[in-house]
Amino acid sequence: MAGGSAEKTYDNLKNSNSRWRTRRAINKETKINKARDRYNVLLYVKGLRLVPNDDGGGGSTASQGGTGTKGGKGGKGGKGKGDDDDKTDSEKLSTKGGLLKIVTKDGKNICDELCNLVHDSRKISRDYEVSGGTTTRVTLRGNVDAGTLIREMDELIDLAATYYSDPDDLRDWMREAFERRFRGSAFDNDATHRAKLDRTLGWTEDWAQARYRFFNHYLRDEPWWCVEYLEEEQRIAGQGADHILHDADLTGDSAIIESKWFRDRDQLLYQRTYRMSIHDGAILRRVIERTNAAGLRSFFEWSVGVVNRYVDWRTELCRCIVRTARTTMTHEQRNVHTVQYRTNMDRLMEGWRPRVQHVDNALDDFSRLLVAVGKQANTNGKISLNKYNAMRNRFNILKHRINHFDVRDPAFATFRFWREDTMNWPQEREQPGPLNLRFAIVPPQVMMANMRLS
């Protein structure tokens, strides 16, 4: 969104008698005087040509720089024959000392043609002239091509008026609205205002689901309506908010974290959660949103999904560790506002850090390669087979470390802190490689057929 070019001033549009202003200003309340003794003419003549004035008289002629320069033929001080090809028709004729005649595409004399066009002109529109607080309507006549041109201009004015409600305010208000609320990189991937607007309206839909969750929670415990709002249909409708608020979203968060609501230091939230920079997240968002290859997009959607699922898995792991520890604490020890609680948590996590780091390292290896592949895809529109195979291997290492982590200990399963789909992810029976997982976007054979591998 950050642009280096100077803002346009649109001086012609701001002219008091510009068609942009006068057409917008006319309404039923405007008092208009009609010019009865004059009219305006607009002619649009296509296909005019400059030709030598061989007859020596008549018609419209134009001198083209005099006759003082003579063209040579390659001799001393002269120019070669090939240099003549770089000259315009006017320059070629002027070097021969001739005059030019302007004719129509049919070879007719332009002066005669203009007279005929004015004589045969028809009403094509109206002009409005504003002077001293008085508006005068003047008939605009012209030829057929001029009528087509002026109608196109008027339609463009009407179209632009849907975006610029104030003819005096020609700032790019939508861009400014985004820049007031977001840092520049939030919408760098979006080629148009429509893409920016679609993204932000998508966020409003997410917020609507979150607010639905509030209503649903309130009414399902309400004496008159609880039975109705405990029905499955009502409960499922609010579950989307749980995913929006509580599930990882690497690419979506790479845009929303650029909201100016987040302070600069808050951007560490993203890096510490997804273990990559906001810039790297934007790279992956770009390739998913802008690639035209369905197989390539599916591959990156799956790969980003691995990171999201890992963050969800790690969230529940850490929550499980904390809740399990809290069950052995007294009421006073569970008070999060005390120094003792923070000391106990630090001591607890100190023992877990090296065990979690072992799995985190596998994700870091997978993510670094994913970002490198994303850069390659954004540049070349494809990924190399070597990197693709390397990603499969990195995923298998990550899967192995998750499946053999301490969380498989039955002690963790005794508490209902895990969602079943997260607890069982990824399953050992799943085949190695990103194309065969049960949450792949398309069947493996289809993805392989569509994916461009170099």
Q: How confident is the model over 311-316, as a mean pLDDT?
A: 88
β-bridge mates for residue 125, sequence order: 140
Assigned token pair, 230: 């405990």
Residue-wise pLDDT for 121-144, tens only, equals: 999 999 988 887 788 889 999 999
Among residues 271, 253, 274, 282, the alpha carbon closest in space to that of 188 is found at: 282
**pLDDT number for residue 451:** 43
Listed by start position, the domains of the chain span: 11-43+121-171, 247-450
Residue-wise pLDDT for 319-339, tens only, equals: 887 887 777 777 777 777 888
Q: Distance between CA 274 and CA 281 in Å, rounded?
A: 9
Give the DSSP H or E segment for 141: strand 134-142
**pLDDT number for residue 77:** 43
Distance between terminal CA atoms of the chain?
Answer: 33
Q: Tell me how far CA of residue 325 lies from CA of 277, 313, 359, 407, in angstroms.
A: 32, 18, 21, 14
Structure letter (DSSP) for residue 128: E
Choice among 148-157, 265-274, 386-395 with the minimum mean pLDDT: 386-395
Assigned token pair, 232: 């499955």
pTM for the predicted model, two decimal places:
0.68
Give the DSSP H or E segment for 307: helix 294-326
Instruction: Name the band, by pLDDT with cuts 50, 70 and 90, for residue 432.
Output: very low
**pLDDT number for residue 154:** 92
Question: What is the average pLDDT value for the chain, to the nearest integer?
Answer: 77
Instruction: Name the band, by pLDDT with cuts 50, 70 and 90, for residue 162.
Output: confident
Q: Distance between CA 359 and CA 364 in Å, rounded?
A: 9
Instruction: Name the band, by pLDDT with cuts 50, 70 and 90, for residue 419.
Output: low
By CB atoms closer than 10 A (0-12, 13-18, 19+), residue 301 is: middle
